[in-house]
Amino acid sequence: MAGLTLCRGGTKICPVESNELTTQAQALRAAGRTPKQIARELGITRAVATNLVRGVAAARPKRVRPSELPLVGCWISRQWSNGLTIAQRPADWIDDKKLPRMAMGAGLVSLVVARADGDAVTICGFLVDTYCLGVKNALPPTTTEAAAWPYFVDDYFQAYDSGPIEAPIELARHLTFGAVDYAHSLGFDPHRDFYSAAPYLGTWEPPSRITFGLNGKPYFQQGPHDNPDRIVRTLNRSVGPGNYEFTIVSL
């Protein structure tokens, strides 16, 4: 506020008192007061109160976007590309060389992205149904100590027979956002926690290089928390009977 002359009820305020007013305005604004209420409580004009609030806001450090945080790493479960077609596949979009039909991990892919966040690491995770439903589950941003994130990643993939593959962040975007777009076209929305985790993947620019569905055709594999009747009804409306495949567990 140096060099700025404020007025309290028509009286000039020196820089020292101006700094005190800034502190008071900051406290009142943090308490939820409007500029009009701040002006009344401090005995200043509303315009001055507004300038003080703006000055406080301008002095705060700029919040870094999640996608601007340094990337620690990105990992994806094996068999992620099983049954998918990839246009002009980049050389670093690797997967197991042998992809037997419906091997473990086919069509249901786990993905983790980790970014440095100060002295800690923030991790997000996604469970992606690449054949039908898109993002079925997501781990919202979770911050852990820098030394602990490798153990966190290991735990995330512990259900698989073998460890994950390190993947480029571009692959993570094309797989996750692309699967969400595909599921939307079939009538399905992503898990609610997808929206808080997605910014850590970076900005999405469709279309995806990946053609989703099992060999391009929707294929619903029932999971333990799925409602098969609802999903089949949705597929009947979106693509029509006979235009998708499914496996439903009889109880």
- Per-residue pLDDT averaged across 53-67, rounded? 64
Asked if residue 137 and residue 185 are part of one domain, the reply reads: yes
Percent of the chain with pLDDT over 70: 84
Contacts of 54 (CB under 8 A, 6+ apart): none
Q: How confident is the model at residue 38 (pLDDT cuts 50, 70, 90)?
A: confident
Q: pLDDT, tens digit, for every residue of 80-130? A: 999 999 999 999 999 987 776 767 678 999 999 999 988 999 999 999 999
- Whether the predicted pLDDT of 12 surpasses 60: no
pLDDT over threshold 90, residue 212: yes
Q: Region 37-64: what's the mean pLDDT? A: 70
- Per-residue pLDDT band at 54 (split at 50, 70, 90): low
Together in a domain, 163 and 42: no
With beta carbons less than 8 A apart as the criterion, state whether 112 and 75 touch.
yes
pTM score > 0.85 for this model? no
Is the peptide bond prior to 70 cis by the omega test (within 30 degrees of 0)? no
Residues 123 and 50 in one domain: no
Domain final position from 59, 74, 94: 59
Structural domain boundaries, residue 26: 6-59
Average model confidence (pLDDT) across the chain: 85
| Chain segment 232-248, per-residue pLDDT in tens | 999 999 999 999 999 88
How would DSSP label each residue in 172-203?
Answer: HHHHHHHHHHHHHHHT-PPPTTHHHHGGGG--
pLDDT at 181 over 60: yes
Same domain for 88 and 44: no
Within a domain: 111: yes
Looking at the fold, whether 85 and 30 belong to one and the same domain comes out as: no
Please give the tally of structural domains in the chain. Answer: 2
Indicate if 28 and 95 belong to the same structural domain.
Answer: no
Domain-embedded: residue 84: yes
Report pLDDT for 44. Answer: 82
140 and 37 inside one domain: no
State whether 216 and 241 are in the same domain: yes
Q: Is residue 1 part of a domain?
A: no
